[in-house]
Structure 1
Amino acid sequence: MASHAFHKTFDTFIDTGVRTFACDYLLFASAGAFRLEVGERFWLLPPQRAALIKTGTAVRVTTRGPATSSSVLFEAPFLEADCRVFVIQPPLPEMIAYGMRWPQEAAGSPEAERFFRALADVAIAMSQQPEETWLPRPRTPEMQRAVTATLETLGEPISQEEIAARAHLSPRTLARRFEEEMQTSWRDFRGRARMLRAAELLLASQEPITEIAFAVGFQSSSAFVAAFRNFFGTTPSAYRRPSRASLASR
């Protein structure tokens, strides 16, 4: 299979299930957002971020609403890490768009292959600063219950003791299991989850920022904006605006 770029639009919720690719894969949502699960982590991929996925790596991709993939499959494997998520910047979005000038059946030309090798070099260079906005995935039934309960109550003033009760664990055991199994504290996990849920809501709806702040457990929009800026490096309003990198209109 020759290297090629492609658009694919999903109008509703999708779940690919766990799957692998027979080649290295650059996954980029030019509109909407994907959730990417790899191993014991999962990421949110809005238009500001992309993922390089190594041949044969088991992944699962889901969406909560409409999304468009503007991605690249590479003929020759070149990745070392199973997955790297990174902030996508010019000229990579423009290069992906340019690569779509070659339909798949014509993508094996010498000109096309030279271009896709250059595109791969640019993507690798950007991925050298991987994005750390991910959440750990639980490995045991008890922690799965704890994580599920936490994610279902992000907008509520729930305590760690209440989560422990729902997971059928003591508070002390829950704290220890989070540190050992998830490599983080329950409080930090919940804080990261609130930010990722807020990002999903910003991209999937037109709800006012104040309403989104309340939906993820903040009592004021100012506190939410400060926390969001600290986590993502930008304001909720700027994050929601169509990314300059978006290829949806191309």
Structure 2
Amino acid sequence: MSDVALSTIMDPARRPKAGAIPQDDYDIDTPWHSHDMHQLQYAFDGSIEVEDRGASYLCLRTRAIWIPAGVVHRTSLHRVRSGSVLFSPEMIPEAGDRVRIIQVSPLMREMVLGAMRWPLTEAQDATGRAYFAALANLCAEWIKEEAPLNLPTTREPQLQAAVAFTRANLRDGDVAAVCEAAGLSERTLRRRFRGAFGMSWDEYRRRARLLAAASLLSDARMPIGHVAAEVGFESQSAFARAFKDLTGKSPREFRGH
């Protein structure tokens, strides 16, 4: 990724140290890039998928994603209403070196909403500077509370093919079909999955199913039993147990959060 672009968010000599960018109804798949500011992006509605060098991350409605300055990533935003808060790196020195999904408290939600009052493109008053200083201090605490909404990724072509097929066929794709798509024997596929991802193919598929279910649960009109069936679980009770093991919440609790 030597040709990855660094995205400079405005002229650093003219912009405030922090500010907000409303992002309503974006429909875009970005190229690989990095920012010169930390980004906290909150999904008011819809879902955001971000991939860094190690994993892909799913940010759902009423949740947030943290992207430290300098971290190479790409973002998929489709029919999403979101808002970002940007911070100069010195405001949050311990920002981490990778993307993460973070738990959203009522306080964070209200402070992100309040931050929209001060767009990054405009001069900032004393109240705004104090607001973002406090928000930066809180972010330093919030980013430690990570939500397990991610999947490991790889740049290895055959495993990429296996991963793509698995995620596209969560309901009925089996290991034989995945092996055919990737051009690997079952023994080799299982060995290389374990080596690349630290989990078996079955574990990867289970986690991918649960992340897909988390996205579907954002639609309150879809019954939980239909969500379970759509991602390949044979029973709603098995789905509920697996979902709670991953997220710490039942599907109903997760939907209502």
What TM-score bracket applies, with the shorter chain setting the length?
A: 0.7 to 0.9
Runs of 5+ in structure 2 lacking a partner? 1-14
Q: Is the 8 A contact 1:37 1:43 kept in 2?
A: yes
- Corresponding letter in the other structure for 1:165: E
Match in the other structure for 1:215: 230
How is 1:1-250 mapped onto 2 (pairs within 5 angstroms)?
A: 1-2=15-16, 3-10=18-25, 13-63=27-77, 65-77=78-90, 78-79=92-93, 80-82=95-97, 83-156=99-172, 158-203=173-218, 206-241=221-256, 243=257
Alignment partner of 2:49: what SS? strand
Alignment partner of 2:34: what SS? coil
Q: For 1:148 and 1:84, locate their aligned partners in 2 and report how far apart those are by CA, in whole Å.
A: 21
Q: Is the 8 A contact 2:59 2:149 kept in 1?
A: no
Q: How has the CA–CA distance of structure 1 residues 49 and 210 changed in structure 2, closer, same or farther, with 3 Å as cutoff? A: same
Q: For 1:139 and 1:105, locate their aligned partners in 2 and report how far apart those are by CA, in whole Å.
A: 36
State the Cα distance separating 1:167 from its structure 2 match.
Answer: 1.3
TM-score, structure 1 normalization: 0.86
State the Cα distance separating 1:9 from its structure 2 match.
Answer: 1.1
Count residues in correspondence: 239
Match in the other structure for 1:246: none
Q: Which has the higher contact order (CA 8 A, sep 6+)?
A: 1
Alignment partner of 2:148: what SS? coil
Q: Is the 8 A contact 1:21 1:57 kept in 2?
A: yes
State the Cα distance separating 1:227 from its structure 2 match.
Answer: 1.9
- Corresponding letter in the other structure for 2:33: R
State the Cα distance separating 1:105 from its structure 2 match.
Answer: 4.7
Q: For 2:167 and 2:252, locate their aligned partners in 1 and report how far apart those are by CA, in whole Å.
A: 24
Runs of 5+ in structure 1 lacking a partner? 244-250
TM-score, structure 2 normalization: 0.84
Q: How has the CA–CA distance of structure 1 residues 88 and 205 changed in structure 2, closer, same or farther, with 3 Å as cutoff? A: closer
Q: How has the CA–CA distance of structure 1 residues 173 and 6 changed in structure 2, closer, same or farther, with 3 Å as cutoff? A: same
Q: Is the 8 A contact 2:220 2:255 kept in 1?
A: no
State the Cα distance separating 1:202 from its structure 2 match.
Answer: 2.1
Q: Is the 8 A contact 1:107 1:113 kept in 2?
A: no
- Corresponding letter in the other structure for 2:169: T
Q: For 1:103 and 1:40, locate their aligned partners in 2 and report how far apart those are by CA, in whole Å.
A: 31
Alignment partner of 1:163: what SS? helix
Name the % identity: 32
